[in-house]
Amino acid sequence: MIAKLMMAGALALLLGTGSVLAAPIGLAIKSAAVEAGIFDGQPTIVVELEPDAQRTFAKLTARHLGEVLDLLIDGTVVSSPRIQTVIPGPSVVISGDFTASEAADLARRISSGDAVVEVELASE
């Protein structure tokens, strides 16, 4: 299940120290819910980040414009979008070829804390 990540929030692999982290960065999640996609009506997962994760995500997107970012859920890459803009907001939207039940299951796992959600710069 490969998905596109459309971000309405932000990610950061570079933290205030100016050094790149070699390992994936875990994101603290406030909630996740399924919504209909804006353009195609397909199921999407809207993930709201905790404040610290929002700041980290914003720094990442600001420092890595034009680079590819992998979104991992339980260690599996589910999306690899190119960072097009700085994303300072609280939400990340995952869209792709999900069935309604797949999207609901993933949102439930993310919200419950059962899924590990991480990001890392992709090696191109």
What are the domain boundaries of the chain?
Answer: 3-13+26-121
Enumerate residues 6+ apart whose C-beta is below 8 A from 102. Answer: 1, 43
Q: What is the pTM of this model?
A: 0.71
Which residue is listed with tokens 């399924």? Answer: 34
pLDDT at 20: 47
Residue 19 predicted with pLDDT over 70: no
Comparing 46-50, 66-70, 94-98, which segment has the lowest mean pLDDT?
94-98
Q: Give the torsion sign (CA, 86, 103, 95, 38).
A: negative
Domain 3-13+26-121, CATH 2.70.150.10 — does that match?
A: no
